[in-house]
C-alpha cells in the first residue's frame, strides 16, 4: 500500500480576490459593462472568463496533477478517465506477486499499437503492459489497456485518518483540496479529499490487478467567493490577466481596449512559454559549477514538473 502526499490546501487568491483584481485590470469600478444584465454586481461573465483562462493555463502547462485508481474488469479494454483528465503522467500496474508490487506501464498511442501488435484489440492476458488514450469526446476521455485483462481487479478503497471519502470531489470553498479518485467499473466512483491541514498523507490501497494512475488534470471551476484558485500561486495573476483579455477583446468598438487585450495575450503566452521551459530543466534548483555535455541535448527534451 503506497503512501501518497496530497497538497491539501492551496495558497493564493479566492474567487472574491480574483474578481476584484479583474475589475482593476478592466479599469472599471463595477461589473456594469461586463455583465449580461448590466448589473453592478453581476459577475457571471467575469467568473466564466476566469474559469476559461485557468483551464487554458492548466491545459497548456500541465501544472496540476493528481492520482487515480482504475479498477480492471475482465474482458474490458477501455475505461473512463477521471473527471478533468488532461493527460497521463505515469501508470503502474499493481500485483502482489510482483517483486516490487508495481510495474510501470508503457504509454503508447493507437498508431504505435497498430504498428507493433497486430491483435492488440483482442489479445488477452492478466499481465497488462500498455496504457493509452483511446479517445476524447466532450469533457471526458477514455483510457485503454493492452492486453485485455481476463480477471477483475480487487475492490479498491482509500484509507486515511486525515481525509474523508466522497461520491464526488466538489469544490470545498475556503479550503480547496487536492484529491484522489477511485474509478469503479460499476460507475460508483469514489473520491478522497484531504483535510485542511498542510502536508496531509493519505494511504491508497490500489488493490491487486488494478492500475495506479498519475494524471494531469483541470482545476475545479470557481463558483463560490471564498473558493481558492488551484493554479500555482506565482501564476494566478497571469490567469487573471488572461481572463481580462477574454473580456477586453470582445469590445472591438474601443480600439484602446482591444490593444490592451493583445498586450495581455502576448504576456500570457510569454509566461506559459517560460513556465514550460523552466519546468523541463533536469537540473532545476541545483547550483552546479560543472555539468556534463549531455545536458546540452537533455535541456531540449520534454520534461514535466512534478507539482
Calpha distance 110→132 (Å, rounded): 7
Give the domain-ending residue among 195, 217, 239: 217
Strands annotated E in the chain: 3-6, 65-70, 78-80, 85-94, 102-104, 106-108, 130-137, 140-146, 157-159, 163-166, 179-183, 190-194, 200-205, 210-217
Range of the domain at 210: 65-217
Averaged pLDDT, 63-92: 89
Once rounded to an integer, what is the mean pLDDT over residues 194-214? 69
Of 59 and 292, the structure prediction assigns the larger pLDDT to 59
Q: Report, as an integer, the average pLDDT of 241-250.
A: 91
Residue 9 C-alpha cell reads as: 490546501
The tally of domains found in the chain comes to: 2
56 and 70 both lie in a single domain: no
SS3 263: helix
Q: What whole-number distance in Å separates Cα of residue 24 and Cα of residue 262?
A: 17
Judge if 21 and 134 occupy the same domain: no
More confident residue, 277 or 195: 277
Mean pLDDT, range 255-275, rounded to an integer: 88
Q: 71 and 53, same structural domain?
A: no
pLDDT more than 90, % of the chain: 45
The grid cell for 100 is 516490487
Q: Of 201, 217, 233, which marks where a domain is finished?
A: 217
Q: 211 and 77 in one domain?
A: yes
Q: What are phi and psi of 241, to 5 degrees?
A: -65, -35
Quote the pLDDT of residue 158. Answer: 61
Q: Which of 169, 189, 217 is the last residue of a domain?
A: 217
Residue 193, classed as helix, strand or coil, is: strand
> What is the per-residue pLDDT across 246-263, written as a single tens digit (0 to 9) for each?
999 877 666 778 888 889
Q: Is residue 6 part of a domain?
A: no
Is residue 139 situated within a structural domain? yes
Are 120 and 189 contained in the same domain? yes
Dihedral sign (CA 45, 47, 49, 55):
negative
| Phi, psi values for residue 31, rounded to 5° | -95, 10
Q: Is residue 307 part of a domain?
A: no
The string of DSSP codes covering 220-255 is PPP-STTPBP-S-GGGHHHHHHHHHHHHHTT-TT-H
Tell whether 303 is covered by a domain.
Answer: no
Alpha carbons 257 and 266: distance in angstroms, whole number: 14
Q: For the chain, what is the radius of gyration of the CA atoms?
A: 22
Do 42 and 177 reside in the same domain of the chain? no
- Is the same domain home to 77 and 187? yes
Flag whether pLDDT at 74 surpasses 70.
yes
User: 244 pLDDT exceeds 70?
Assistant: yes
- In this structure, the answer to whether residues 114 and 187 fall within a common structural domain is yes
Q: Establish if 305 belongs to a structural domain.
A: no
Kindly list the strands in the beta sheet with 3-6, ordered across the sheet, starting from the edge strand earlier in the chain: 3-6, 200-205, 157-159
Amino acid at each position: 500500500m503506497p503512501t501518497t502526499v496530497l497538497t491539501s490546501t492551496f495558497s493564493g487568491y479566492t474567487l472574491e480576490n480574483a474578481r476584484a483584481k479583474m475589475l482593476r485590470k478592466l479599469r472599471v469600478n463595477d461589473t456594469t459593462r461586463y455583465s449580461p444584465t448590466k448589473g453592478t454586481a453581476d459577475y457571471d461573465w467575469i467568473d466564466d472568463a476566469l474559469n476559461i483562462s485557468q483551464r487554458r493555463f492548466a491545459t497548456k502547462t500541465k501544472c496540476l496533477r493528481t492520482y487515480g485508481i482504475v479498477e480492471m474488469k475482465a474482458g474490458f479494454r477501455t475505461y473512463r478517465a477521471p473527471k478533468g483528465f488532461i493527460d497521463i503522467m505515469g501508470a503502474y500496474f499493481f500485483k502482489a506477486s510482483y517483486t516490487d508490487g508495481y510495474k510501470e506501464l508503457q504509454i503508447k498511442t493507437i498508431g504505435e499499437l497498430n504498428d507493433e501488435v497486430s491483435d492488440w484489440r483482442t489479445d488477452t492476458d492478466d499481465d497488462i503492459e500498455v496504457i493509452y488514450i483511446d479517445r476524447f469526446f466532450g469533457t471526458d476521455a477514455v483510457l485503454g489497456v493492452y492486453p485485455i485483462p481476463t480477471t477483475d481487479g480487487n475492490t479498491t478503497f482509500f484509507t486515511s485518518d486525515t481525509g474523508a471519502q466522497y461520491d464526488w470531489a466538489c469544490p470545498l470553498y475556503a479550503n480547496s483540496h487536492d484529491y484522489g479518485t477511485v474509478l469503479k467499473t460499476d460507475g460508483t466512483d469514489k473520491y478522497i479529499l484531504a483535510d485542511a491541514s498542510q502536508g496531509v498523507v493519505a494511504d491508497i490501497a490500489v488493490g491487486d490487478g488494478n492500475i495506479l494512475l498519475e494524471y494531469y488534470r483541470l482545476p475545479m471551476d470557481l463558483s463560490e467567493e471564498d473558493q481558492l484558485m488551484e493554479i500555482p500561486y506565482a501564476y494566478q495573476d497571469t490567469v487573471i490577466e488572461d481572463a481580462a483579455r477574454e473580456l477586453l477583446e470582445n469590445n472591438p468598438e474601443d480600439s484602446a481596449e482591444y490593444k490592451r487585450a493583445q498586450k495581455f495575450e502576448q504576456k500570457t503566452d510569454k509566461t506559459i512559454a517560460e513556465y514550460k521551459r523552466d519546468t523541463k530543466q533536469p537540473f532545476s534548483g541545483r547550483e552546479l559549477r560543472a555539468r556534463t555535455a549531455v545536458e546540452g541535448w537533455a535541456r531540449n527534451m520534454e520534461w514535466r514538473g512534478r507539482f
